[in-house]
Every structure is written in C-alpha cells, then in structure tokens.
Amino acid sequence: MMVHENIVRLLDLYTPDNSLSTLSIVYIVTEYAGNSLYEILKRERETGLRILTPEHHKFIIYQLLRALKYIHSANVMHRDLKPGNLALTDECDLSVLDFGLARSLNADDTVLSAYVITRWYRSPEVMYWKICSYDTQADVWSVGCILAELSLGHPLFPGEDSMAQYRLIAELCGSPDPELLVKLASNEAILNVITKLGVYSRKSFSEYFPKTFSKHLVDFLDRILVLDPEKRMTVTDALSHPYLEEYSMPEDEPVADGPFILDEGSNGRTIAEWKALIWQELLNFDRRKKNSC
C-alpha cells in the first residue's frame, strides 16, 4: 500500500458477501480529500472569480510533484493525472486520487497503452509518438498542462480530437527536432502526420504567456512542456527549480521503500482468477486491520 501525505489514503476495504463463490460487491473506503481541482477550476470559469492565487498554484504543483517523486520511486506511473484526479482541502492540502490506470514499470514491459490519459493532459509520446516504452516522464508532461491551466484559468491544449490536439501542441512547443525524428523513424504514421501538418517553430514562452506570469513560472513551463521526454525536466529537476524554491525541502520528500507491482500477470487472468485475488486481498486487509487495533 502506498502511504504518503499527498496520496489519498485507503481506510477500509470490505464486502457484504460471505464467500468467494458469492462475491459480487466490494466497498472501497478512502479518506475525504476535499474538493476536486476540476470543480474548483470550473467554478472559477463560471463565476469569473479567481479562487486560487498564484501562491496556491505553486503549492499545489509542489505537492503534486512531491507525490510523484514517491509514486515514481515505487516504479509506478499514475498515467491519468488531470484536475479531476486531484483534490484540495480548504487548507490547500493536495491528494492524488484514482490509481485505476496506474501501471508498474517492469523491465519486461513491451507495450503500454496509448489511450489512458484524458487527451488534454496526455503527453506527445503517449498520444502521438506511440513510443511503446514510455516512462514516468509522461506524468511530468501532465503536470505542466495542469500548471498552465491553473495559471491561465483555462486548459492549455483543449483539442477537440487527436489532430486538433497535435496542432495546438505543435503551435506552442514546435515540431519534433532532428534528434526526436530519429527516434520516431520507425513510426511511419506519425511521420506522415508531422509532414502533413507542416513544420512549427517552438514559440517563445515569455512572449506567449501573459506578462503577469513570473519569470520563474515561465521558465518552469518552458522546461516541462518539451516534446522529447528525454529532454523534459524530471520530477527531481522540477522540485529543485527556482519556481518552487520556497517550498523545496528534499529531506521531507519521501520515496518508497521498494517497487510496487500493480499488474503482474494481469493481462491473462480470467474473471474467476480476478475474483480469487480480490477475495484474498479482502481477507488480507481485514487481517491487517485487526492486527493494527
């Protein structure tokens, strides 16, 4: 179980069913984590009033990165970071929610799904490059999209479909550079798309974003919204960036004790096998709960 201040905490796991053969309902109880960031941003847009200040934005992103440092150290990708999967208390304490699409990064992984993250927050390598071995840097791109939305008051890349999404990204972040094109050489489909849409130059972020944005905020976005995941700022880099300097505290940014295996052998299991695993986990959880009393 992942235990971290910025990850929603599991309180209870139980079923009203009395045996494996009758198992059909499972209740998962988590702590109340506050309001969805999506709902807060929606309320801001509807009322025209800012609820969250730039200082709130900074604290939110710091806590999100702090959670990702822990999650990634456990060899896990969240894969669905978006405002709807983040919650805030009235004190602006953040919790990452919904690990339904999370995935372990195992050495023998050969294919990772490209359609897991809500499009507006999905990284180019997941959505377009279809690089089968994409890693935790995909989560980092999502952080950049969330920060931009917090700061602007609206989504940065609200594409109506995949092609519109690509155009919006390319118009700001530019087309793939020669180094990235070499990595994409085997993907004829995306090369055709790149050719069809033409070459875009990366815009100056200091000119694109409002002058009210601090220089550190603009530089942070410039370093995190990078097409090539190998050139994109890492979680560690982001946590030590000047934008988050007032919150940075490496000694209070814990990592996991070891890797989590979330899905070993999951692709080939039958429904009966899944039920047996769930039943066993229910028994284990109940045993741990009783031992902790």
Position 285: which residue type?
Answer: F
Q: Is 80 a catalytic residue?
A: yes
**245-281 burial by CB neighbour count: b if 16+ within 10 A, else e?**
eebbeeeebeebeeebebeeeeeeeeeeeebeeebee
Three-class SS state of 160? coil
HEC string of 61-88 equals: HHHHHHHHHHHHHCCEECCCCCHHHEEE
- H-helix or E-strand containing 13? strand 10-14
**Which among 17, 80, 109, 135 is annotated as catalytic?**
80
Distances (CA, A) of 14 to 1, 30, 104: 16, 12, 25
- H-helix or E-strand containing 213? none
Residue with tokens 């959880």: 285
How many whole angstroms separate alpha carbon 17 and alpha carbon 26? 9
Closest CA relative to residue 66, chosen from 282, 288, 258, 254: 254
- 176, 193 contact by CB (below 8 A): no
Active-site residue set: 80
